[in-house]
Amino acid sequence: MNILILGGGGFLGQKLAQSLARTGTLRGQDITSLTLADLQTPAVFGAPFDVRAVVCDIADPNAVAQTVTDDTDVVFLLAAIVSSHAEEEFATGMSINLYGAANVLERCRALPTLPVVVFSSSLAVYGGDVPNPVGDHSFLNPQTSYGTQKAIGEMLVNDYSRKGFIDGRAFRLPTITVRPGKPNRAASSFMSSVFREPLNGQVAICPVEPEFQHYYLSPRKCIENLIKGAELDESDLGANRVMQMPGRTWSIRQMIDAMTAVAGETPGSLIRWEPQPEVKKIVSGWKHDIEAHRAEALGLRADASFEDNIRYYLEDDQPAA
Q: Residues with catalytic annotation?
A: 146
Query: In sequence order, what are the beta bridge partners of 26?
Result: 29
Which residue pairs, CB below 8 angstroms and at least 24 apart, start in 272-280? 272/203, 272/204, 272/205, 272/206, 273/206, 273/209, 273/210, 274/205, 274/206, 274/207, 275/207, 275/208, 275/209, 276/205, 276/207, 276/208, 279/84, 279/187, 279/190, 279/207, 279/208, 280/207, 280/208
> How far is the C-alpha of 8 from the C-alpha of 110, rounded, in Å?
22
Contact 190, 279 (CB under 8 A): yes
CB-based contacts of 216: which residues, under 8 Å, 6+ apart?
A: 174, 175, 176, 177, 191, 247, 248, 249, 250, 255, 303, 306, 309
Closest to 21 measured CA to CA, from 210, 223, 182, 209: 223
Q: Report in angstroms the alpha-carbon separations of 63 from 6, 66, 100, 104, 159.
A: 12, 5, 11, 10, 24
**CA 148 to CA 73: how far, in whole Å?**
28
